[in-house]
Amino acid sequence: MMSKPYLFVDFEFTMPEDHQKRKGFVPEIIEAGVAVVRNGEVHDTFSSFVKPEINSLLSNRCMQFLDITQEAVDQGISFRELIAAFMKYESQCMSTVVTWGNMDMYVLRKQCLQAGIPYPFPNKEIDLSMEHKRFYGTKNQTGLMKALVEFGHSAKGKHHRALDDAMTTFEIFKLMEKDKKYLKRAEPSTIGELVDFSRLLAHMA
Q: Is 125 known to be catalytic?
A: no
Catalytic, out of 125, 131, 150, 160: 160
Residue 205 lies in a domain: no
Separation in Å, CA 183 to CA 136, 157, 174: 12, 30, 14
Residue 152 lies in a domain: yes
Residue 202 lies in a domain: no
What CA–CA distance (Å, rounded) separates 200 from 205? 9
| Full strand arrangement of the beta sheet holding 96-99 | 41-49, 29-38, 6-13, 96-99, 125-127
Contact between residue 132 and residue 37 where contact means Cβ atoms under 8 Å apart:
no
Q: Is 153 known to be catalytic?
A: no
pLDDT at 92: 76
Catalytic, out of 12, 28, 31, 171: 12
| Number of domains present in the structure of the chain | 1
Question: Which pTM value belongs to this model?
Answer: 0.86
Q: What is the CATH number of the domain that holds 61?
A: 3.30.420.10
Residue 181 lies in a domain: yes
What CA–CA distance (Å, rounded) separates 48 from 98? 18
Q: Could you count the other beta carbons within 10 Å of the beta carbon of residue 197?
A: 9
Residue 193 lies in a domain: no
pLDDT tens, position by position, for the chain (205 residues)?
Answer: 556 799 999 999 999 998 767 678 899 999 999 999 999 999 999 999 999 999 999 999 999 999 999 999 999 999 999 999 999 988 777 789 999 999 999 999 999 999 999 999 988 999 999 999 999 999 999 999 999 999 999 888 899 999 999 999 999 999 999 999 888 776 555 545 545 545 444 445 4
Residue 135 lies in a domain: yes
Across 14-167, the runs of DSSP E, i.e. the strands, are 29-38, 41-49, 96-99, 125-127
Residue 199 lies in a domain: no
80 alpha-carbon distance from chain centroid: 21
| Residue span of the structural domain in which 153 resides | 6-185
Residue 1 lies in a domain: no
